[in-house]
Structure 1
Amino acid sequence: MNKTVRIPHLGGIEASYKIFGAYKQYKPTLILINSFTTSSDLYEAQFNNKELTEVMNLIAIEPLGHGKTKLRAGARVESDSQNFTYWDTAIMNVQVMDALGIKKAFVLGTSQGGWITVRMALIAPDRIAGIIPLGTSMDYENERTIKLGCWDGIREVTSLVEATTSASAVDSYEPSTEYCEFLIDIGFGKDCPSSTREQWTKAIKANYQGDAGRKRIREAAINLRERDGLHGRLTNVKCPVLWLHGDKDVVYSVANAKEEIELFDNSVEKNLVVVPGGHHFLSWTHQQEVDKAVLDFVNKNSKGTGNAQAMREAVGMVDI
């Protein structure tokens, strides 16, 4: 079950997150960030994996415009102002860390979650122990990425922006079945199980109900379509980077990932792992491969070479 915490950014956000069990300060922490118009449920398999939960705290934070995270004008009133960017979500996530007493964390993100992990590493470098982008891109939507086999994001997302644009309230709004099918096809694969298709069609429709839902999905779509690129800033990322990418990803290509991983030229460690048969929402379609890579990455980078105090502080554990 999701919990919420009120944080101050943008005049007040009710940030929604899911945590496995009680937070244990002696364990490293992994923050999980979901993909476009999904929710923290994208990581339900990871929350059910004892190999992960025994080693680390798992906390899934839902970005602005997603899940139960909401901008709040007051204690209970949702704000009419729904303007936000991916930088705002990155700041929100760091403030959630503050509110929960997390000194340092690893961050994993799928698609849009991937570039949020980088933004978190840029705005709070001393708080991020390592980043794990999945099926993502570090660029804005442009001809370069299209030529490398990525989707035409501006074209694909504009139809959603137009479908949710209205000068007056649309209280009956819910996402169309066509949109849900489109997202499921590109995210989970056209050959995904019918149970996956049914689960996410139901979830997407339920999450974006009414005029408030229309406004949230519209801003989330604008955020995706019109985001800024990160190429010039990737050299400023110093923490370890593990990029996982499926070779059946139809949104962002392996060719693009191979170019962009090299731009992390000042990271203490950078690796691109291509997962055979993997789709865009890789942690769902290829859980075992992702979970093993995550476990190895966190275990490796949670270990220091100094004394026990330094080792524990390095991964945000409680002071000794």
Structure 2
Amino acid sequence: MTTATSSATPTGNPAVGKAVDAGGIRTNYLEAGSGGETIVFVHGSGPGVTAYANWRGVLPVLGEHFRCVAPDMVGFGYSERPENADYRLDTWADQTLGVMDTLGIEKAHLVGNSFGGAIALRLATKNPDRVDKLVLMGSMGVPFEITAGLDNVWGFEGTLEHMRTVMGYFAYDESLTGGDLAQTRFEGATQPGFQESFSSMFPAPRQRWVEAMTVSHDEIRALPHRTLIVHGREDRVIPLTTSLQLMQLLDNADLSVFSHCGHWSMIERRDDFNRQVRDFLLGG
């Protein structure tokens, strides 16, 4: 495959890393570590989300053992927002593969959060030889009735008041979403062009977008990859039943359920999450 050189975009913003062309999409990505096998991290779909927002507590830790790459999906964060972009599952999966191609990554572990879990499943079903192990955290990818939490997340109205409501769905520990977090995420979500692209992705009625983010049961059943499924027991955005479905479908999967934990396993149970993922990926 052809390897292109990534371009750095140095700023004072820790969410902005380097940029690569991923199948024609200029993609911002963060990188940590330099040795060992490669992990590609795929973030979720909340308003104002970036790879940094999702993985800032994970990359420095797992970067001690792996090369970690965390891109912003098209339409999110600091990646390109092309006019008339086709925001759908295959687009994001192809972009993720494009990042791997450009960076010369032949094969990687995939860690997907929520919407990112569906992207990881789609990439693995289309290109199984490019994927080593899978970690699916609070993952989409199978059918479920949309929750009030997800409906609010995808239906973010662009106001600070609604951002406070949205943030309230994410964590079991309310202190994690209090203070300045809603203000910070609101400012991030309403930068020029950000809310416009986000609001175009999942317009009401939103059950159809849950279905658009699914991968067929037959394709999931066919995946041979060792898989770790992680879910917060008190998740109000993506129900625990999705991970129970995935455990039944994936022959080579283990399920870890964290108590007193909402949708942000990598934040609320950060040490446990990092340890489990590290041990799972380093194991035989």
TM range (shorter): 0.7 to 0.9
Q: Percent identity?
A: 19
Q: Is the 8 A contact 2:172 2:260 kept in 1?
A: no
Distance 2:92 2:244 in 1: 26
Equivalent position SS for 1:138:
coil
Q: How far has the Cα of 1:200 moved from its partner?
A: 5.2
Q: How far has the Cα of 1:48 moved from its partner?
A: 2.9
Distance 2:56 2:110 in 1: 16
Equivalent position SS for 2:275:
helix
Partner of residue 280, structure 1: 263
Partner of residue 151, structure 1: 147
Distance 1:259 1:217 in 2: 28
Larger Rg: 1
Q: Is the 8 A contact 1:109 1:132 kept in 2?
A: yes
Q: How far has the Cα of 1:282 moved from its partner?
A: 0.9
Partner of residue 43, structure 1: 55
- The answer to whether 1:230 aligns with 2:220 is no
Residues 182 and 110 of structure 1, relative CA distance in 2, 3 Å threshold: farther
Distance 1:158 1:88 in 2: 18
Q: How far has the Cα of 1:202 moved from its partner?
A: 1.5
Q: How far has the Cα of 1:152 moved from its partner?
A: 4.5
Distance 2:234 2:161 in 1: 22
The letter for the 2-side match of 1:220 is M
- The answer to whether 1:31 aligns with 2:44 is no
1:119 corresponds, among 119, 122, 125, to 122
Partner of residue 246, structure 1: 232
Consecutive unaligned residues of structure 1, counting only runs of 5 or more, are 72-78, 164-174, 302-320
Q: Is the 8 A contact 2:228 2:255 kept in 1?
A: yes
Consecutive unaligned residues of structure 2, counting only runs of 5 or more, are 1-13
Distance 2:124 2:203 in 1: 23
Partner of residue 91, structure 1: 94
1:138 corresponds, among 115, 119, 141, to 141
Deviations 1:128-164 (A, max 9, x none): 1011111123224xxxx34xxx61578546744xx5x
1:214 corresponds, among 162, 177, 195, to 195
Residues 249 and 158 of structure 1, relative CA distance in 2, 3 Å threshold: closer
TM-score (structure 1 length as normaliser): 0.74
How many residue pairs get aligned? The number is 261
Q: How far has the Cα of 1:290 moved from its partner?
A: 0.7
Q: Is the 8 A contact 2:160 2:186 kept in 1?
A: no
Residues 208 and 20 of structure 1, relative CA distance in 2, 3 Å threshold: same
Q: Give 1:45-64 correspondences, 5 Å limit.
A: 45-49=57-61, 52-64=62-74
Partner of residue 274, structure 2: 291
- The answer to whether 1:187 aligns with 2:170 is yes
Equivalent position SS for 2:169:
helix
Give the root-mean-square deviation of aligned CA atoms: 2.4
Equivalent position SS for 1:130:
strand
The letter for the 1-side match of 2:27 is A
Partner of residue 7, structure 2: none
TM-score (structure 2 length as normaliser): 0.83
